[in-house]
Structure 1
Amino acid sequence: MMANLFSIFEPSSSIFSLSTNWMSTFLGLLFIPYLYWASPSRWSLMWSKIIQTLHKEFKALLPSSLTGTSTLFIGLFSLIVFNNFLGLLPYVFTSSSHLAMTLSLSLPLWVTLMTFGWLNHTQHMFAHLVPQGTPFVLMPFMVLIETISNFIRPGTLAVRLAANMIAGHLLLTLLGSTGPSLSLSILSILIFSQILLLILEAAVAVIQSYVFAVLSTLYTSEIN
């Protein structure tokens, strides 16, 4: 019996007082050599197709002066989706379920975008604080609301990703912990429901990675 339900998310494994669970973040690098095989595998062809599709979509969202930055968001999507998928495997630590990981992705990106925007497109950034067609009386309130929404963007990106990863893993853990006390007939139903939840978690892993990358792209398009 677990003393704390959230203990499954604690990076407790260590060697020489160094946490080793966080090394699972870089397990996606093991898939890179597949892209350089002389004869492309089905995996490499599928991944190349996904990257091309994402590149076209991000290129359409970004302004012409920032088209090359689509590579950054493709890399961001790749890191998150590999991390989410590998976290579904047994005994693999899911670092994307921690705010320390998700904030380290969203906060530097947001700070960089804000710094670049306010230094190079100051008037444009000020214009974004007041939407077009806003009545004069409501302008101070709109400036306040838009300022707050800008400041909470890295937090919403980080919390959205971490909360979705935590919710699915907790549900799988809660259902799995009831298995030893169930009869054989109910256990078969539990296993079937666990398989369905695992498929749902795989879909959530892709969707949340895509949402994180697309929202980052939209935030980038607003600074130019």
Structure 2
Amino acid sequence: MKILLAEDDPKVASFITNGLSENGHSVDHVTDGREALTYCLYNSCDLAILDRMMPGMDGLSVVRALRAARNQTPVLFLTALADVSDRVEGLAAGADDYLVKPFHFSELLARVVALSRRHKDSPEAPVLIVHDLSLDLLARTARRQGQVIELQSKEFALLEVLMRNAGRVVTRTMLLEQVWNFNFEPNTTVVETHVSRLRAKIDKPFDLPLIHTVRSTGYSMHGPR
């Protein structure tokens, strides 16, 4: 899943981002409520995790603005405001779930999975398709020509980024940022290693390659042209 995290505490944000990434999710992090609203309005994501007390715009205002714009991105409030009235106010504003800090990461992960299942049958259920390859972001399954392809968590996240950007060049730096949350690691070969493993699973067993190297730049995913 592609998840937006709006959290202004750097330690909490790092803890959540690392945990979700280790479980195969792609996380984009912002620290301001206005950034969160702009992101959800102009980018596609499967879930937004919002703090209620943020600079720029509070979480309640973000959710109300999203729902007023008919944006149905699932929202999970993660906040220190723990009174029953706070929970009721958050859900009434349009949030889908509410979790109080401090929290156990296992519970946060379980709620993320539950929200995924809840929205699985909606008209916007996220299934990415490139040629004869499909990636179900909720069931976390990949299929090519009807065959199930077993992927490790980072392979799944890498494939998701490539398929979301099908037909466009995805740079090595973009992959490091979105899959591994590295800002700049010039000497690492983690991207090349994982792309090679991914190709062995989704390209080599089939006649037509879908992952193409763009020399000195990165990769592009597309079918026949």
Q: Report the TM range for the smaller structure's normalisation.
A: under 0.3
- The TM-score, its normalising length taken from structure 1, stands at 0.26
- The TM-score, its normalising length taken from structure 2, stands at 0.26
Q: Whose relative contact order is higher, 1 or 2, with alpha carbons under 8 Å and at least 6 apart?
A: 1
